[in-house]
């Protein structure tokens, strides 16, 4: 009986590890990593890795202004869940999302807002990839007693071999690798949009938004005395590109929220060297203690774990991918902990 339980537990562990060993090629996929907290609209550059991919004033009658929302915002203008667009929790109850205009009234033909990011590695030609994102209609935008948004469709994802920027914006050419086909009017529940492709190019970048022109974008007008029906507006979260179909079809829901790494100092002295580190990291603690050592990647997954007994320990991090990690030392005797940021070269 004990042997059977052990085998079952081992199988479960293998399945769990196999599931989470798959890689999401979209860095900062839930928009939680940031350099600065947003305070007004048009600050997508504060979200680590993301940038504006829609046109400037030479392309449109006005500058495009994709929005970045984060719970760290000092007021409710760009906060989560409360913001200028209403009240909306992030998907998975995390801390951030982006907001994009998908359609404007005819006075602003083909006005679109796009954001983009470089993938962690290029797609392999001939390989099958699964794509997904979560979206919800930005439903309030109540200003002066009026509602300005209206339901629409075609919000989606476009892959490219070059980055789309303000000076080289994403084309409105009625093509996207993944997009919302039906008109979405849900202002409460996040909707999963998913699909798959066989990579026909070594795509290095993705852009989010509506890449279809006005003639190929469907809209529905709200029917109320306060409804202005001026533009479509969508929030997006948890973007996924992976060879793992499970990860991009709901598996991402089981991942932990990962905010920007904040260093927390406890009442014990901790020294790390070298930092940045390429292979071996020395962790030194003043005084003898038994503590748990945990290293988390940017997705909140434990990348390394061990126990320190005494004053110092040497850990081999040579197999970890380059990037930013959070080191957490837990002193179980005093029930406290400290965290530090480490850079793996």
pLDDT tens-digit map of 265-279: 555 677 888 888 888
Q: Identify the helix (H) or strand (E) that includes residue 9.
A: helix 2-21
For the segment 47-63, the average pLDDT, to the nearest whole number, is: 76
Report the C-alpha gap between 131 and 119 in whole angstroms: 13
Q: Is 100's pLDDT higher than 60?
A: yes
Residue 262 lies in a domain: no
Which one of 187, 221, 254 terminates a domain? 254
Query: Domain check: are 192 and 285 in the same one?
Result: no
pLDDT at 171: 95
Residues pairing with 136 in the sheet: 235
Residue at a domain's end among 189, 219, 254: 254
Residue 131 · residue 178 · CB < 8 Å:
yes
Q: Are residues 156 and 305 in the same domain?
A: no
> Domain containing 242 — which CATH number?
2.60.120.260
Q: Is 63 exposed, middle or buried (0-12, 13-18, 19+ CB in 10 A)?
A: middle
pLDDT exceeds cutoff 90 at 197: yes
Domain end (from 222, 254, 286): 254
One domain for residues 163 and 297: no
SS3 content of the chain, % helix, strand, coil (to 5): 10, 40, 50
Tens-place pLDDT, residues 285-329: 766 677 888 887 765 677 888 888 777 888 899 998 888 787 888
Whether 322 is covered by a domain: the verdict is yes
The answer to whether residues 236 and 209 touch, using CB atoms and an 8 Å cutoff, is no
217 lies in the same domain as 277:
no
User: Residue 114: its pLDDT value, please?
Assistant: 97
Residues 198 and 333 occupy one common structural domain: no
Tell me what the mean pLDDT of segment 61-76 comes to.
84
For residue 57, pLDDT over 80 is answered with no
Question: Cα separation of 182 and 186, whole Å?
Answer: 12
Contacts of 105 (CB under 8 A, 6+ apart): 229, 230, 231
180 part of a folded domain: yes
Which residues constitute the domain of residue 187? 24-254
Please tell me the predicted confidence (pLDDT) of residue 177: 98
pLDDT tier at 35 (50, 70, 90 boundaries)?
confident
Is a pLDDT exceeding 90 seen at residue 331?
no
Residues 241 and 278 grouped into a single domain: no
Whether 18 is covered by a domain: the verdict is: no
- 279, 243: one domain: no
Residue 279 domain-assigned (yes or no) = yes
pLDDT of 3 reads: 41
pLDDT at site 21: 36
Predicted TM-score of the model (pTM)? 0.70
- pLDDT confidence tier of residue 74, bands split at 50, 70 and 90: confident
Tell me how many domains the chain contains.
2
Residue 2, domain member (yes or no): no
């Amino acid at each position: 009986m004990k042997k059977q339980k052990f085998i079952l537990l081992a199988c479960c562990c293998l399945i769990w590890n196999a599931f989470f060993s798959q890689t999401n090629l979209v860095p900062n996929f839930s928009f939680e990593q940031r350099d600065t907290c947003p305070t007004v609209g048009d600050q997508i550059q504060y979200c680590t890795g993301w940038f504006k991919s829609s046109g400037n004033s030479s392309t449109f009658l006005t500058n495009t202004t994709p929005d970045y929302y984060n719970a760290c915002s000092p007021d409710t203008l760009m906060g989560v869940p409360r913001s200028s667009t209403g009240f909306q929790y992030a998907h998975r109850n995390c801390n951030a999302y982006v907001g994009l205009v998908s359609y404007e009234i005819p006075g602003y033909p083909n006005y679109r807002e796009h954001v983009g990011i470089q993938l962690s590695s290029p797609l392999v030609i001939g390989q099958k990839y699964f794509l997904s994102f979560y979206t919800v209609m930005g439903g309030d935008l109540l200003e002066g007693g009026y509602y300005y948004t209206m339901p629409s469709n075609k919000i989606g994802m476009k892959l490219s071999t070059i980055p789309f920027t303000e000076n080289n914006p994403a084309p409105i050419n009625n093509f996207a690798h993944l997009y919302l086909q039906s008109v979405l009017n849900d202002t409460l529940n996040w909707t999963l949009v998913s699909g798959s492709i066989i990579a026909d190019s070594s795509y290095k970048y993705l852009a989010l938004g509506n890449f279809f022109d006005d003639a190929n974008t469907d809209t529905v007008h709200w029917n109320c005395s306060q409804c202005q029906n001026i533009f479509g507006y969508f929030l997006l979260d948890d973007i996924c590109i992976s060879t793992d179909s499970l990860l991009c079809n709901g598996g991402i829901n089981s991942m932990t929220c990962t905010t920007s790494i904040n260093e927390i100092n406890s009442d014990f002295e901790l020294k790390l060297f070298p930092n940045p580190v390429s292979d071996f990291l020395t962790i030194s603690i003043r005084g003898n203690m038994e503590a748990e050592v945990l290293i988390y990647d940017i997705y909140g997954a434990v990348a390394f774990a061990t126990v320190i007994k005494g004053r110092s320990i040497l850990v081999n991090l040579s197999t970890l991918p380059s990037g930013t990690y959070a080191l957490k030392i837990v002193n179980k005797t005093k029930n406290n902990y400290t965290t530090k940021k480490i850079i793996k070269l």
